[in-house]
Copies of this chain bind each other. A is one copy, B any other.
Amino acid sequence: MKFKKENYEIMADVLKAMAHPTRMFIVEVLNEREECVKDLTKMIGDDISTVSKHLSKLKSAGIITSEKRGNCVYYKLVCKCVMTFFSCVTSVIEK
């Protein structure tokens, strides 16, 4: 048992933040470039308030950060390593 119970909770929160189809999509887009809420919303097709809430969940997990520029809020990935999830998840699915 490498970590304490409390640590598992913190770690699970990070995974939980990623564990949603829309949020995985967002992470993948942000891996390539910053985007603002409006443009992400266009790609996703949900209500903009829904997208905003997904973003805020990713942000409070520490996976993305935001920056306001002009009229818009731009989000970007903090750590590219989350993209390793995709290849692992894909290989799990293939097995």
Contact = CB atoms under 8 A, between A and B. Distances in A.
Interface of A: 1-3, 5, 8-12, 14-16, 18-25, 28-29, 43, 61-63, 78-79, 81-82, 84-93, 95
B29 A11 contact: no
A82 B3 CA distance: 17
Given A11-B86, A78-B92, 20 more contacts: A1-B25, A1-B28, A8-B21, A8-B22, A8-B25, A9-B21, A11-B90, A12-B24, A14-B92, A15-B24, A15-B85, A15-B89, A61-B92, A62-B93, A78-B95, A79-B92, A79-B95, A81-B87, A81-B91, A82-B88
Contacts of A25: 1, 3, 8
A88 to B, nearest CB: 4
B16 A19 contact: yes
